[in-house]
Amino acid sequence: MSDTPTTIDGEPSQPTSAGWNDAAELHKCEDGGGLFHRLKTIRRGTLAELISFVLTLPEEDQGDYAIQKEGDHQMRIGEIRNLSRRADFPARAH
């Protein structure tokens, strides 16, 4: 279920949150074959927990990971970092 309600015309309104408590999986991207090539699930948790975890990794390794949020939304390091900078990002889960 999305945290983004729609308006009466079916247009999405501004999101009230990023879905910080939505279920998500952390994947390691391997072999340089793109995001879908040999994805390995490393851990599961909430979106906020996984963003916090990725940001604890050495900066040069962070780009090797992607977060798969429920609803088939995949996030690479640029989006992960942008979400962590949001004013409503919860305190680190770790």
Q: What are the tens digits of pLDDT across the range 44-90?
A: 999 999 999 999 999 999 999 999 998 778 999 999 999 999 999 99
Model confidence over 3-49: pLDDT tens digits? 555 455 555 555 567 899 999 999 988 755 555 555 678 899 999 99
Distance of alpha carbon 10 from alpha carbon 23, whole angstroms = 25
Reported as type and span, the H/E element at residue 83 is: helix 77-84
* Tokens 């391997």 found at: 30
What is the pLDDT, as a whole number, of residue 94? Answer: 45
Ordered DSSP codes for 46-75: EHHHHHHHHHHS-HHHHTTEEEEETTTEEE
What is the pLDDT, as a whole number, of residue 1? Answer: 47
Q: How far is CA 14 from the centre of its chain?
A: 18
Distance of alpha carbon 1 from alpha carbon 18, whole angstroms = 12
Instruction: Compute CA distances 61 → 49, 56, 91, whole Å.
Output: 18, 10, 22
Question: Global pTM?
Answer: 0.72
